């Protein structure tokens, strides 16, 4: 080990205090403290410009290459989420192209059919139906009337039906049923059944409110023989699906269920509402024709009691529900016994069953003993329905299933 050179002697010590310090420095130098160890590494200066982050461990799907630490990465703001910034396109491109083809054909100057396009009058008629019902485009009654008027000018035989309905329903203003009569008269030669049905709708719309008269129980229902109702019967005889559906609904209200089912099924091919009504009525008739659950035990009786109590698939009938609860309790159902105890725990003022309390108990779960009563979900209502308009069945099936053009 070599010694570092010591300062020359004598040191310039000006005072007594300085002399002591100088002597101490000389002693340390001679002892080798100033010597440098040859084995220690020398500190290297650090250049911040040479520091680089490690390369990322993922592949950029937009660039399809690994980022290089030696190449600075430039970010283009225009490329940030470029796909998300684009305006949404049509929900169904093929549907949009078909609509555009219809509009081009309907607005054609010539009334002749162009190659690959429908006839102008057919295109205008179909656009009116689609706009009226909101199929493949947002519902727009004013636009529907525009296309119906153009179809009429181009000579479509069914255009008077659209114009008559627009006047009855008020496509561009208040309803004016009286003004629809000339258009219904023009429709009779092309579609007599629909003309009769529209006339029945018109007379019903203009007729004063009818006051229902009470009927004695266990008497056959009276048949409406008024001239107004005869229009509906004649429309059904001419094959109009909406008229058949209306007669089916009348039969349901008069408890002529087999006749109603036959009428619904006769109209089901052309009326979606009649098809849905036929399925609903068939299910209800099947439920009514099921054998009594006596051989199935107390649980089956309890299930039937709950159905009549809640009106689940059948009209609510508290008298029948009480009877079935009693039968289920007699066959050993503890849940039915608990329900009966709660029903009779709050009698009415006259000592009989309180119907309001019975209604409140209909949606309570009493199947588990000792559990806190919880509210059951109400049964989904299943109702008989009408078609949206008297023209709905005239929409071709592919367009009837098209999505609504409005965006939410």
The model's pLDDT over 283-297, given as tens digits with 9 standing for 90+, comes to 877 755 455 554 467
Give Cβ neighbours of residue 194 (< 8 Å, ≥ 6 apart).
161, 187, 235, 240, 390
Q: What is the pLDDT of residue 296?
A: 60
Residue 301, number of CB atoms within 10 A of its CB: 25
Q: What is the pLDDT of residue 280?
A: 86
Least confident residue range of 53-62, 134-143, 352-361 = 53-62
- Give the whole-angstrom CA distance, residue 339 versus residue 335: 6
- CB contact at 8 A, 136 and 130: yes
Q: What is the pLDDT of residue 350?
A: 75
Rounded to a whole number, what is the largest CA-CA distance in the chain? 146
Strand partners, 374: 365
When pLDDT is cut at 50, 70 and 90, the band that residue 408 belongs to is: very low
E-state strands within 114-223: none
Asked if pLDDT for residue 115 goes beyond 70, the answer is: no
Which residue in the block uniquely carries the two structure tokens 């008297």? 390
When pLDDT is cut at 50, 70 and 90, the band that residue 259 belongs to is: very high
Least confident residue range of 157-166, 298-307, 396-405 = 396-405
Tokens matching residue 125:
């008629």
Closest to 165 in 3D by CA, of 151, 144, 150:
144
Q: What is the pLDDT of residue 56?
A: 37
Least confident residue range of 7-11, 177-181, 325-329 = 7-11
Residue 311 backbone zone (phi > 0: left; psi -120 to 50: alpha; other: beta): left
When pLDDT is cut at 50, 70 and 90, the band that residue 298 belongs to is: confident
94-188: what CATH class? mainly alpha
Q: What is the pLDDT of residue 402?
A: 74
Percent share of the chain, pLDDT over 90: 37
Q: What is the pLDDT of residue 337?
A: 86
Tokens matching residue 239:
């094959």
- Give the whole-angstrom CA distance, residue 380 versus residue 365: 17
When pLDDT is cut at 50, 70 and 90, the band that residue 252 belongs to is: confident
Query: What is the domain partition of the chain in residue ranges?
Result: 94-188, 240-289, 295-375
Percent share of the chain, pLDDT over 70: 64
- The tens digit of pLDDT for each residue in 196-209 reads 999 999 999 988 76
pTM of the model: 0.58
Residue 315, number of CB atoms within 10 A of its CB: 8
Closest to 150 in 3D by CA, of 113, 108, 198, 114:
108
Asked if pLDDT for residue 81 goes beyond 50, the answer is: no
Element (H, E) at 323: helix 318-330
Tokens matching residue 266:
């006769």
Q: What is the pLDDT of residue 41?
A: 45
Q: Mean of the pLDDT values across residues 75-93? A: 43
Asked if pLDDT for residue 78 goes beyond 60, the answer is: no
Least confident residue range of 10-24, 88-102, 120-134, 165-179 = 10-24
Asked if pLDDT for residue 336 goes beyond 70, the answer is: yes
Tokens matching residue 293:
């659950």
- Give the whole-angstrom CA distance, residue 208 versus residue 215: 21
Higher pLDDT: 238 or 336? It is 238
């Amino acid at each position: 080990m070599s010694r570092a050179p010591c300062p020359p002697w004598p040191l310039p010590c000006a005072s007594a205090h300085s002399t002591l310090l100088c002597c101490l420095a000389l002693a340390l130098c001679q002892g080798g403290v100033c010597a440098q160890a040859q084995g220690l590494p020398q500190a290297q200066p650090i250049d911040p410009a040479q520091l680089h982050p490690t390369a990322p461990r993922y592949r950029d799907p937009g660039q399809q290459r690994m980022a290089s630490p030696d190449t600075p990465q430039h970010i283009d703001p225009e490329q940030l989420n470029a796909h998300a910034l684009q305006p949404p396109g049509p929900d169904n491109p093929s549907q949009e192209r078909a609509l555009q083809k219809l509009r081009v054909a309907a607005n054609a100057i010539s009334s002749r059919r162009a190659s690959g396009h429908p006839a102008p009058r057919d295109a205008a008629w179909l656009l009116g139906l689609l706009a009226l019902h909101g199929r493949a485009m947002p519902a727009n009654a004013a636009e529907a009337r525009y296309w119906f008027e153009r179809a009429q000018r181009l000579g479509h035989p069914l255009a008077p039906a659209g114009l008559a309905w627009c006047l009855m329903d008020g496509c561009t203003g208040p309803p004016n049923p009286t003004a629809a009569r000339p258009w219904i008269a023009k429709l009779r030669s092309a579609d007599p059944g629909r003309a009769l049905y529209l006339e029945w709708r018109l007379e019903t719309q203009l007729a004063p409110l009818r006051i229902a008269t009470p009927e004695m129980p266990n008497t056959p229902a009276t048949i409406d023989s008024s001239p107004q109702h005869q229009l509906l019967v004649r429309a059904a005889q001419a094959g109009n699906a909406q008229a058949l559906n209306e007669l089916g609904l009348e039969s349901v209200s008069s408890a002529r269920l087999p006749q109603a089912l036959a009428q619904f099924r006769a109209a089901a091919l052309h009326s979606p509402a009649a098809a849905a009504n036929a399925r609903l009525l068939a299910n209800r008739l099947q439920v009514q024709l099921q054998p009594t659950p006596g051989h199935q035990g107390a649980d089956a009786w309890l299930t039937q009691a709950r159905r009549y109590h809640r009106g689940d698939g059948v009209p609510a009938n508290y008298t029948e529900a009480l009877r079935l609860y009693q039968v289920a309790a007699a066959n050993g159902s503890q849940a039915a016994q608990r329900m009966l105890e709660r029903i009779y725990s709050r009698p009415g003022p006259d000592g009989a069953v309180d119907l309001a309390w019975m209604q409140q108990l209909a949606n309570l779960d009493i199947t588990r003993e000792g559990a806190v009563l919880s509210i059951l979900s109400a049964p989904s209502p299943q109702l008989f329905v009408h078609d949206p308009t008297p023209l709905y069945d005239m929409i071709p099936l592919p367009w009837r299933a098209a999505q609504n053009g409005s965006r939410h």
